[in-house]
Amino acid sequence: MTVTGIEAISFYTPQTYVSLDALAERHGIDPAKFSRGIGQEKIALPGPDEDIVTMAAEAVMPIIERVGSQGIDTVLFATETGIDQSKAAAIYVQRLVQLSPNCRCVELKQACYSATAALQLACSYVARKPDRKVLVIASDIARYDRDSSGEATQGAGAIAMLVSAQPKVQEVGAISGLFTEDIMDFWRPNHRRTPIFDGKASTLRYLNALVEAWKDYQANGGLPYDAFDRFCYHVPFSRMGEKANSHLAKANKMPNAMEKVQPGLVYNRQVGNCYTASLYLAMLSQLENSDEDLTGSTIGLFSYGSGASGEFFDTKVMPGYRDHLFAEAHKRLIEDRIAVSYEDYVTLWDGMDLTQGAPDTARGRFRLDRIEDDKRIYVDRNA
Ligand code: CAA
């Protein structure tokens, strides 16, 4: 069978953030509830001229600059912050990063899960056509109502993965465990900017889906629990990743090994939830924040999307993977950010009318310049 997986992986997050200490102070909450109770430090905030498309293009560009775009004939854009009910966000990215017009571009949706569906579809496709490559993009802005229990778990970011039959970073295993149940733990009707959710119930459904997907993975001939060197989970907030890790260990009657999950939570703590991108940010964080060389390590991934779908699968880290990462650039992106006050966070959260043009605040190359006749006009500063 053709080996398929991730040839390159890149991340982007906006320059602005609000600290959870500022949020706690404003709401009269003990800051430890956020730092320890949910395990988060910062909420990444996009500027008025940034959205899922500009973040996605920023994430893709380093891959194109290093590897080129030869062979890419498909862009799968996973998001639950869609900007249009009809047109796929992938098409804007295809133009901005100058991919061939002989390219299929689609958007996928199933809450935070859809990037995993995209990754699996991409692997199957390149197994059939090993000379082709697929760009899998996960880009989201996690926004909850202010003063809701979810407010502290907001964030924003994009992951881009080049999927091919020459996986230089990680091979994606062929066996998956799947689980779907029709529930209302978190959803966002078309007319709403923010989701409706039952926070506590959603955490329980997530843990249930993890065990059910794991059982299906085992039934399908998956690796035993002790074959895994690391685990990465969907991370709406980092304590959820820790809870998932101990839940899976308990279900397997094994001791809870926090060191198998911890390096994968470093970036998420600083960025916040980025829905579809969160699991892959955790995976990237494992690769870029583990002191030891992970070559040959087996990493288990659990993807969860409310509503709800879960999938458990395995990946193997390739020899020389470090040479194909963008670790220094990612660390700079996370370190070189600007904290805003609670008041400025509220202004950004409220959004603004962009018909007269958006203020130029994005740190990246791509900007949403304005919305004209309901058309989103993106610009490339280098054009
Ligand atoms: N010091 C230390 N810890 C403290 C503390 C303090 N002063 N005060 C509270 N805590 C602890 C609590 O003991 C609790 O710990 P445990 O979970 O281990 O019991 C933790 O902090 C959280 O406290 P609460 O349960 O009181 O917090 P809450 O009800 O205000 O919010 C939440 C928790 C419901 C998960 C909320 O963050 C939320 O609604 N989030 C949005 C929904 C979500 O992320 N769901 C996750 C599963 S669904 C999913 O994953 C899809 C997705 O991306 C949305």
Ligand 1 centroid to Cα of residue 85, in Å, is 32
Ligand 1 centroid to Cα of residue 147, in Å, is 14
Of all protein residues, whose CA lies closest to atom 7 belonging to ligand 1?
33
Q: What is the phi/psi pair of residue 59, to 5°? A: -70, -35
Amino acid 308 reads A
For each of the chain's 383 residues, which pLDDT tens digit applies? 789 999 999 999 999 999 999 999 999 999 999 999 999 999 999 999 999 999 999 999 999 999 999 999 999 999 999 999 999 999 999 999 999 999 999 999 999 999 999 999 999 999 999 999 999 999 999 999 999 999 999 999 999 999 999 999 999 999 999 999 999 999 999 999 999 999 999 999 999 999 999 999 999 999 999 999 999 999 999 999 999 999 999 999 999 999 999 999 999 999 999 999 999 999 999 999 999 999 999 999 999 999 999 999 999 999 999 999 999 999 999 999 999 999 999 999 999 999 999 999 999 999 999 999 999 999 999 99
Q: Which atom of ligand 1 is nearest to the CA of 197?
A: 42
Ligand 1 centroid to Cα of residue 240, in Å, is 8
C-alpha distances in Å from residue 171, one per residue of 58, 87, 228, 251: 24, 32, 14, 26
The encoded tokens of residue 317 equal 């880290």
Of all protein residues, whose CA lies closest to atom 42 belonging to ligand 1?
199
- Closest C-alpha to 46, from 147, 160, 140: 140
Around ligand 1, the residues with Cβ closer than 6 Å are 30, 32-33, 36-38, 112, 149-150, 153, 186, 197, 199-200, 202-203, 206, 234, 236-237, 240, 273, 275, 304, 306
C-alpha distances in Å from residue 367, one per residue of 106, 345, 379, 382: 21, 20, 5, 11
Ligand 1 centroid to Cα of residue 350, in Å, is 24
Quick check: pTM over 0.85? yes
Of all protein residues, whose CA lies closest to atom 5 belonging to ligand 1?
33
Preceding amide of 308 cis, omega within 30:
yes
Of all protein residues, whose CA lies closest to atom 22 belonging to ligand 1?
37
Of all protein residues, whose CA lies closest to atom 37 belonging to ligand 1?
150
Instruction: State whether residue 133 is helix, strand or coil.
Output: strand
Ligand 1 centroid to Cα of residue 199, in Å, is 8
Q: Which atom of ligand 1 is nearest to the CA of 237?
A: 44
Q: What is the phi/psi pair of residue 304, to 5°? A: -130, 135
Residue to mutate, 30, 33, 109, 273, ligand 1, most ligand atoms under 8 Å from C-beta: 33
Residue to mutate, 149, 196, 311, ligand 1, most ligand atoms under 8 Å from C-beta: 149
Q: Which atom of ligand 1 is nearest to the CA of 243?
A: 18
Of all protein residues, whose CA lies closest to atom 8 belonging to ligand 1?
33
Residues 150, 153, 156, 162, Cα dihedral to 10°:
-110
Active site residues: 80, 112, 234
Q: Which atom of ligand 1 is nearest to the CA of 198?
A: 39
Residue 1's pLDDT is 79
Ligand 1 centroid to Cα of residue 227, in Å, is 31
Altogether, the residues listed in the chain come to a count of 383
